[in-house]
Structure 1
Amino acid sequence: MRRIVTQSICWAYAPGDTPADESVPLDDGAAGPRARMVHGIRALEETASEVDTAVLLRFGVLYGPGTPGTRPAAPSPRPWPVTRPRSSWAASRPTTR
């Protein structure tokens, strides 16, 4: 393989007071679940960089007027409260019949 494009995330950067760019390191000082996430991202990006041409896309979130972070939150359609963070991983697992 000579080329690879990987999808990563941007919320693994070290904490700071301004928006991060590619010069900001990953949060290697993280603990607990965040540390595992940062470790996984580092492993993905280091493995991809072993290929001759690697493009690492760190997808993020939009911010500013009119974006989800500035709009009032819509009521949840769930009849139960979410008591811990959820992941879409469970919904994407293959099911057996």
Structure 2
Amino acid sequence: MEAEIDDPLTPPIKKIRHRSLTALHRLQKYEGTARNTRKKCSSCYKKIQSESGVKEARNKAKRVCTFCENCPGMPTMCLPCFNENHK
């Protein structure tokens, strides 16, 4: 067996693990009926509120039964907003 020789011109090889955020974060569904568990999508609400105000956000934000368990505050999110926030 030959001994490994450190070559100063060759950078060391590092094993890098890439984890995507979607692997760590996933949409969960509230238990119970949709009628009792639906809430406004927090991302849609924030976007509409910044553009049009609170009154428009209350009326136009999507109502969903899904949330991201691993995000701080466990925000409710629709699928398009979840994908946008977890790229």
Which TM-score tier does this pair reach, normalised by the shorter chain? under 0.3
Higher helix share: 2
TM-score of the two chains, using structure 1 as the length reference: 0.21
Structure ID, larger Rg? 2
TM-score of the two chains, using structure 2 as the length reference: 0.23
